[in-house]
Amino acid sequence: MTDFEDQLRRALERKEPSADFAARVMARATQKKRPLAWVQWQSWAAAGIAASLCLGALGLEVEHRHTVELRQGQAARAQLIQAMEITSKKLHQIHKRVQGTL
Amino acid sequence: MIGSLAQEVGIPRAVAEADRSRAFEAAVREHQAMVFSVAYHFLQDHAVAEELAQEVFLELYRHWDELESREHRIHWLRKVASRRCIDQTRRRKLRNHVSLEEAPEPFTWMPATDPILKRYIEQLLGKLADTPRLVVIMRYQEGLEPAEIADILDMPVATVKSHLQRSLALLRRKLSFATREGES
């Protein structure tokens, strides 16, 4: 080996990492992982809850729209009945007047 | 493998797991300097090199049962560390894009034993392209023969020799400039 190669070898001597390197590796390697089935169950449960909430919100919206339409329909019906009553009274008065003049 | 073996011979699984962890920790302590140094000499960044070395050992932990001997583990660690070093530079573009040919000459003479010279050699090495740099690290850090390097880096032996010759010529030229002035 030449002097140059010796210099290269010295420059590339192995170095130690930080003192707690092995401890950090061990901590990461042995940390408890949740079993896959548990993770999958959690995912399905979350999806189920999300779907239920969406369906619930949709149901409430439909119910709300139905109630509003019902109230509007009832109000229109009441207005129509009132208008017909007024018209009926007026017609009755006119009918009396016509009979009185005859 | 350990779990099934433990069940066959009646050893509780927890004991087998504890033995596995102890053996793994011993392997980490034995090989941490090798893996970290490959990463450090390649990336020239202490923190990134430690992170990469940790990832290599975590991968070793996952493949622990497949690696039957110490020699097999060493070979595997060198291979995985090399592959991850290449991936790291591709992903993060950590490399200095000044090539060794373009690197400036040192402006002062440095004695051959000076730590500054050692650092200068590291810097020159950092300017080599990825594959030649790994070849030089495997040759002069790990002391491997070209055939062993070829096996680890999955390339023909002739290519390894070619990378070595070319890299050494470049490094020698830059280094001789740094030391010649002091001699004259």
What are the structural domain ranges in chain B?
2-92, 115-183
* Residue A3 confidence (pLDDT): 80
Q: Are B140 and B175 in contact (CB under 8 A)?
A: no
Q: What is the C-alpha separation between B58 and B80, in angstroms, rounded? A: 11
pLDDT over 70 at B32, yes or no: yes
By Cβ distance, the residue of A4, A5, A28 closest to B58 is A28
Q: Which residue has the higher pLDDT, A59 or A38?
A: A59
Burial class (CB in 10 A: 0-12, 13-18, 19+), B70: exposed
Residues of B in contact with A1 (CB under 8 A): none
CATH node for B115-183: 1.10.10.10
Looking at beta carbons, which pairs linking B84-88 to residues 24 or more positions away fall under 8 Å?
Answer: B84/B39, B84/B52, B84/B55, B84/B56, B85/B38, B85/B39, B85/B42, B85/B43, B85/B52, B85/B130, B85/B134, B86/B130, B86/B131, B86/B134, B88/B43, B88/B48, B88/B52
Q: Are B166 and A2 in contact (CB under 8 A)?
A: no
Chain-wide mean pLDDT for chain B? 83
Q: What is the C-alpha separation between B93 and B87, in angstroms, rounded? A: 10
B175:A4 CB<8 A: yes
Quote the Cα angle for B14-B16-B19, to 5°: 110
* Residue A4 confidence (pLDDT): 82
A17:B33 CB<8 A: yes
* Residue B16 confidence (pLDDT): 75
Query: What predicted TM-score, i.e. pTM, was given to this entire model?
Result: 0.66
ipTM confidence score: 0.76
A7:B58 CB<8 A: no
pLDDT over 90 at A64, yes or no: yes
Q: What is the C-alpha separation between B68 and A14, in angstroms, rounded? A: 25
Q: What is the C-alpha separation between B126 and B98, in angstroms, rounded? A: 10
Mean per-residue pLDDT, A11-21: 94
* B77-122 pLDDT, tens digit each: 999 999 999 999 887 665 455 555 555 555 454 555 567 778 888 8
Question: What's the sign of the alpha-carbon dihedral A61, A63, A64, A70?
Answer: positive
**B2-92 fold:** Rna Polymerase Sigma Factor; Chain: A (1.10.1740)
Chain-wide mean pLDDT for chain A? 88
* Residue B184 confidence (pLDDT): 43
Q: How confident is the model at residue A102 (pLDDT cuts 50, 70, 90)?
A: confident
Helix (H, G, I), strand (E, B), or coil: what is residue A50?
helix
For residue A51, the enclosing domain spans: 3-101
By Cβ distance, the residue of B32, B118, B168 closest to A22 is B32
User: Distance (Å) from the C-alpha of residue A34 to the closest C-alpha of chain B?
Assistant: 16
For chain A, how many structural domains are there in total? 1
Q: What is the C-alpha separation between B172 and B184, in angstroms, rounded? A: 18
Q: Which residue has the higher pLDDT, B181 or A71?
A: A71
